[in-house]
Amino acid sequence: MPRTSDARLPFDEQVLRARKASPWRDWQIDPEASRPAVSLKAMAPDAKPFSGGDKATDKTAIESLADEIDQLQNLFYPDARFKLLVVLQGMDTAGKDGTLRGVFSRTSPLGVRTVAWKAPTERERAHDYLWRIHQAVPGAGEIVLFNRSHYEDVLVPVVNGWIDKTQTRQRYAHINDFERLLAETGTVILKFMLHISYDEQRQRLQDRIDDPDKHWKFSMGDLEVRKQWPQYQKAYEEFLGATSTIWAPWTVVPADSKTHRNLMIATIVRDTLKGLKLRYPPEDPALKNLRIE
């Protein structure tokens, strides 16, 4: 399907060039192709392109990156030129919650907000499917983390046959235009598809069954969704190709390793924030020589 033309991005060409030269370029879905063919089978979910080879060293690096993200967030909030939206999408057990804990656990709650998306309520279903999403996007100087996202609306309905191919293509176009609107009004969008293998999901689901402390994470519905694994993989491939744009590209994150998953995402978030060249607002002249009695 035709792509929307290039948007006026909230960051300069230097940042765009840095993206193309970044270590994760091989895992980013090419946004400049007319219709990139995506094959998740060609992307190894057990790969560790960001790992130094030692798990303990990687974990130390994650802690350091989390501290850097916190420091940058402390600068991001008062700058207020930008907004950051981080989208985490993936199959059940892919590690969306774990990513939030591992990467963003050290950030101040000031200016950082997490939204966990579930099935729409009756009131939300009375509006278009992006209505509830738009209300939750970041405001000026805010970082918002989406645990699942509007991409559920081109996954579940597609796999279950609730919308046809024409409606699906329409939704791809809606989403691209919606994200372009966000980008053109100052929102930096990072979209991560957490890519795990079928066997790794089996093990993680079994762990939830075997450990009483994890029973709350397990639902019998997870087994029904697992039966539709091939259909979900195809739906992911389709929307990754159709909605990876210059203003909101998709990055596929090999996620069989929880440590590597967090390391890769933390690195990308840190590098993106550094690339924005954040700054504190101008000093207030009234504060010069002010002394508190």
Type and span of the H or E element at 193: strand 187-195
Residues whose CB is less than 8 angstroms from the CB of residue 267 and which lie 6 or more positions away in sequence, other chains included:
23, 24, 50, 65
Is residue 99 within 8 A of residue 61, CB to CB? The reply is no
State the average pLDDT for the chain.
88
Average pLDDT for 183-197? 95
Q: If you average pLDDT over residues 106-132, what whole number do you get?
A: 91
pLDDT band at 23 (very low <50, low <70, confident <90, very high): low
Q: Is the pLDDT of residue 147 over 50?
A: yes
Of 21 and 232, more confident = 232
Give residue 7's pLDDT: 43
CB 237 within 8 A of CB 36: no
Q: What is the average pLDDT across 154-175?
A: 96
Lowest mean pLDDT among 7-21, 118-132, 153-167, 178-192: 7-21
Judge whether residue 4 has pLDDT over 60. Answer: no
Residue 248 tokens, joined? 């909101």
Contact 244, 20 (CB under 8 A): no
Structure confidence at residue 266 as a pLDDT band (50, 70, 90): very high
Q: What is the predicted pLDDT for the residue at 2?
A: 38
pLDDT of residue 254: 97
**The pair of three-digit structure tokens given for residue 185, joined into one six-digit string:** 């009004």
Neighbouring C-alpha atoms within 13 Å toward the C-beta of 63: 6
Burial class, 91, CB count within 10 angstroms (exposed 0-12 / middle 13-18 / buried 19+): buried
Give pLDDT, residue 20: 56
Q: Is the pLDDT of residue 159 over 60?
A: yes
Please name which of 290, 266, 268, 288 lies closest in space to residue 67, comparing C-alpha atoms: 266
| CATH ID of 13-279, from 3.30.300.30, 3.40.309.10, 3.40.50.300, 3.10.20.440 | 3.40.50.300
Domain boundaries along the sequence of the chain: 13-279
223, pLDDT greater than 60? yes
Q: How confident is the model at residue 105 (pLDDT cuts 50, 70, 90)?
A: confident
Question: Average pLDDT for residues 230-242, to the nearest whole number?
Answer: 96
